[in-house]
Amino acid sequence: MSQAPDIPQSLRDLMAEIGPKWATNTTGHIKMMIEGFSALHAGTAHDDLEEIYDIAYAQDDPRQVLDVVRQPGASGQPMMLFFHGGAFTDGQKNRTPQIHGNIVRYCARHGIVGVNVEYRPAPAWTYPTGSIDVGLAVQWAKANAGRFGADPARLYICGSSAGAAHTGSYAYDKRLHPAAGPGIAGHIVISGRMRADNRADNPNARRVEAYYGTDASRFEDVSPVSHAGADSVPTFIAIAEYENPLIDVYCTELAYRLALAKGHTPRFLRLAGHNHASIHAHIGTSEDRLGSELVEFIHTGR
């Protein structure tokens, strides 16, 4: 196994510089983080893992493909499906050769079959297409888990940013479930957009509208947080200190609603010093707080 790289001081200095002003240029700051962490991960070999790319999980669109990463000889392991962000209209499962593969490679090195999922974007595809694709990927994973050494009864979904809006609606909104239920053991939210909104202080308001539409009277009903309740699947929520506006607020609301409904607080982590991009891009470095909690949540189910 390759040694996890340390985050260099120069990159930490950049995080400290742009963090407090994150909201002034979210697109530019995300680009800086992706470039910095991609260069860092590029030095990590992953020939210890088996990686299979661009497997079709549905036939409606060329983007309905996924990558599987596992340890050779994996058997009976849990499986995690990761859904990237991109403000509903952008983003890719492999934004660079390192990001977001760093997340599923990390999982594979810790006894979890990692699956990196692509899905159909707005504006061509609107609500609830993203969550339909989550469901289709879950169905594929349950049917194919055995051939990749995974246990179909221990299937987790993880969403980042807009990807978490899709996973969140699938996880919590029963209208989007198959008759037998969602078929997942748990849900992981990393800096997730748990509410649809087009507020003036949301820099991605127009892209939210591209997916959900412009009728704000519908936003409450289509927001994942509105459907979280006592019988929702176990959930782990992680946020950064410096988020795109309102992301941390809505994630905290999700934690509150789940806690109130279930009578106990879900696993919740706030990463000081991190931002909306570094929170997922740093997974696989020697800074392991989020990674270790993610692994523990998946292996224990709580």
Distance CA 284, CA 50 (A): 17
At residue 82, the pLDDT reads: 99
**Mean per-residue pLDDT for 170-178?**
98
Percent of the chain with pLDDT over 90: 99
At residue 43, the pLDDT reads: 94
Q: Say which CATH superfamily domain 9-300 falls into.
A: Alpha/Beta hydrolase fold, catalytic domain (3.40.50.1820)
Model confidence pTM above 0.95: yes
Using one digit for the tens of pLDDT, what is the confidence trace for 69-123? 999 999 999 999 999 999 999 999 999 999 999 999 999 999 999 999 999 999 9
pLDDT class of 40 with cuts at 50, 70, 90: very high
Contact (Cβ atoms closer than 8 angstroms) between residue 86 and residue 27: no
Whether pLDDT at 1 is above 70: no
Whether pLDDT at 16 is above 70: yes
In the numeric block, which tokens belong to residue 186? 């748990």
For the chain, give every domain's residue range.
9-300
Using one digit for the tens of pLDDT, what is the confidence trace for 274-284? 999 999 999 99
